[in-house]
Amino acid sequence: MLRRNRILRTSPAIRAMVAETILKPSDFIAPLFITEGEQVKEEISSMPGYFRYSLDNTVKEAKELWSMGIKSVLLFVKCTDELKDNKGTEAVNPDGLMQRAIKSIKQAVPEMIVMTDVALDPYSSYGHDGIVNGQEIVNDATVEVLARMSLSHAAAGADFVAPSDMMDGRILAIRNTLEANNFDKVGIMSYSAKYASCFYGPFRDALDSAPGFGDKKTYQMDYANAKEAIKETLMDVEEGADIVMVKPALAYLDIISSIKERVNLPVSAYHVSGEYSMIKAAAKMGWLNEEKAILETLTSIKRAGADLIATYFAKDAVKLLG
Ligand code: PBG
């Protein structure tokens, strides 16, 4: 039998009718970078078109995102140097910038799903995601602080905590701590397969959180490995994660798709800072059409199996989808 596959590509209407993957505004999680001060809107030099906002402007931004149909934000704060230490003191401060940000956003846009980054790097004098002892990033003592940090986010009103640290056992510890304190409606979006990646470079500029020594390879995963991503993710599911995540996204589409096949939870993917900056840079040079690159990239991440995408292009994408 002769098959004419091009029939289904004949016109825009036919192509729309048979399109398998359609992006929508509620697919996106918008990361927000928050800094102290008032009326601050600072462009991040390695992320052109993306900003750090003070609380007042963060609230404005959250309102705008909500009005566009974007239903979740993922919060990151830039901690001042004086407040950084090796214990995560500021991370659990009930009046810290993160805790104030959660409250302000929930007050202004109560329905917005507020997700918070849980890891020590923005608060660490060493720029590491955990407590440092000599050259080592100590697991269990870090997990204990991450659980207290999650609790303080929950107490401030966070809907989901999002541990991005890759310590062993943190999902169970966080879940137990939330339960023990009656926060049984707070979800956990686990960065379950997070790779040690050069694509986080611009993010570390945004928060001034680059590691002071060494790298993150003793806790984040080796990009040579795929089975390990399954192991990590299945453990997080058992420990009580509500949403699992693969990070970065574009160089890890195979990982997204194999995790999607194996778990019965929503799968998210983090289209990270370096992936954003690559498109921006190529577009600035006139080498790529930015708008087309955004939609093709995000559609491919969803096609691979991501139900949710954390992306710095959330607003642009919604505008482009019309
Ligand atoms: C911190 C954290 C990082 C990112 C999210 N949370 C950086 C890192 O692990 O070094 C990266 C996000 C991005 O690059 O957009 N634990």
CB-based contacts of 15: which residues, under 8 Å, 6+ apart?
A: 8, 9
272 lines ligand 1 (CB under 6 A): yes
311 lines ligand 1 (CB under 6 A): no
Which ligand 1 atom sits nearest the alpha carbon of residue 203?
Answer: 14
Going by CA atoms, what residue is nearest to atom 8 of ligand 1?
200
SS3 (DSSP) at 115: strand
Q: Both tokens of residue 109?
A: 């846009």
273 lines ligand 1 (CB under 6 A): yes
Assess contact for 122 and 204: CB atoms under 8 A. Answer: no
- Ligand 1 centroid–CA 114 distance in Å is 17
Q: Both tokens of residue 150?
A: 């999650």
Distance CA(247)–CA(257), nearest Å, equals: 13
Assess contact for 316 and 68: CB atoms under 8 A. Answer: no
Distance CA(166)–CA(217), nearest Å, equals: 10
Distance CA(215)–CA(203), nearest Å, equals: 15
Q: Both tokens of residue 275?
A: 């992936």
The catalytic residue positions are 194, 247
Distance CA(202)–CA(78), nearest Å, equals: 14
For the chain, what's the residue count? Answer: 322
Going by CA atoms, what residue is nearest to atom 7 of ligand 1?
200
Which ligand 1 atom sits nearest the alpha carbon of residue 201?
Answer: 14
The angle at the Cα of 78, spanning 240 to 196, to the nearest 5 degrees, equals 55
pLDDT tens digits in sequence order for the chain, 322 residues long: 899 999 999 999 999 999 999 999 999 999 999 999 999 999 999 999 999 999 999 999 999 999 999 999 999 999 999 999 999 999 999 999 999 999 999 999 999 999 999 999 999 999 999 999 999 999 999 999 999 999 999 999 999 999 999 999 999 999 999 999 999 999 999 999 999 999 999 999 999 889 999 999 999 999 999 999 999 999 999 999 999 999 999 999 999 999 999 999 999 999 999 999 999 999 999 999 999 999 999 999 999 999 999 999 999 999 999 8
Distance CA(263)–CA(275), nearest Å, equals: 26
Distance from chain centroid for Cα 305: 16
Q: Both tokens of residue 216?
A: 């993150």
- Ligand 1 centroid–CA 303 distance in Å is 23
Query: Quick check: pTM over 0.85?
Result: yes
275 lines ligand 1 (CB under 6 A): no
